[in-house]
Each structure stands twice: as C-alpha cells, then as structure tokens.
Amino acid sequence: MVTYSQKVMEHFMNPRNVGEIEDADGIGEVGNPICGDMMTFYIKVEDNKIKDIKFKTFGCGAAIAVSSMVSEMAKGKTIEEALKITNKSVAEELGGLPKNKLHCSNLGADALHKAIENYLSKKSRGEGRKES
C-alpha cells in the first residue's frame, strides 16, 4: 500500500489549474513510457511572468498532484524563477512522494521547463508577439 502525504491527496482530489489555454504562449508535453503518464503544460506569459498556467495530465494520483503543485509553484513567477523549479523542490512542496512515484515529480518539472523553452523559442523567432 502506497501512502501519500495529506498535501499530495489534497492536490489529487482538488487539482488546481486543470485545463488548456487556447492561445498559449508556450506548450510543454512529456510522457513516461514506462508508467504511461502524460503531462501537458500551457503557459501565458506577460511582462516576463507566468500570468496563467494550465495542465492536462493522464496518469496516477501522484502525477496529477505533481502537475497541480507545479502549476501553483509557477503561477505569478518570472520565467527565470519558474526555470528554477526542480523535481526535488516539487516533491518537497508536496511533503514527499513514495520512492516508486518520484519519477512523477520529474515529469512535472520537465513539462513546465519544456513549455518555457517553447515560449522562449517562439519569442526569439518573433512569433505571436503582440505590440501594444
């Protein structure tokens, strides 16, 4: 029997920021072929800050809790701050994860970083920039 922290259970039962952002500035998708978990993160960036973040996760309770926690940790942060979110910091925020579920925390941080990389590469190519 796997025991989860109360925080993991809370984020699994009531995940934050679930969904999709239609005109996302960055999208990051990762999957783990071993366990079948899939995560997609969508970010909206304004003034170098993550103004909005949503995710869609297909996976176990830990994967859903991790996605929810990553979205909470990244929301409102600058791009630089969000890039500092690591799988270790996610697991710590959740009050720890069972050893056999630690790979889920890797996915969350990786998906976020991929969404940021996607945003930065679009920005450097000058795509989707709205001049105000």
Question: pLDDT tens across 69-125, in order?
Answer: 999 999 999 999 999 999 889 989 999 988 888 877 788 999 999 999 999 999 888
Strands (E), the chain: 26-32, 37-46, 49-58
Q: Which amino acid is at 59?
A: G
CATH number for the domain that contains residue 64: 3.90.1010.10
Q: How many CB atoms lie within 10 A of CB 22?
A: 8
The answer to whether position 68 is within a domain reads yes
The answer to whether position 79 is within a domain reads yes
The answer to whether position 23 is within a domain reads yes
- Express each pLDDT in 48-64 by its tens digit: 999 999 999 998 889 99
DSSP 48: T
Q: Which residues are catalytic?
A: 35, 104
pLDDT over 50 (residue 132): no
The answer to whether position 128 is within a domain reads no
The answer to whether position 131 is within a domain reads no
The answer to whether position 129 is within a domain reads no
The answer to whether position 126 is within a domain reads no
pTM equals 0.90
Domain holding 81, by residue range, is 6-120
pLDDT over 70 (residue 130): no
Domain count, the chain: 1
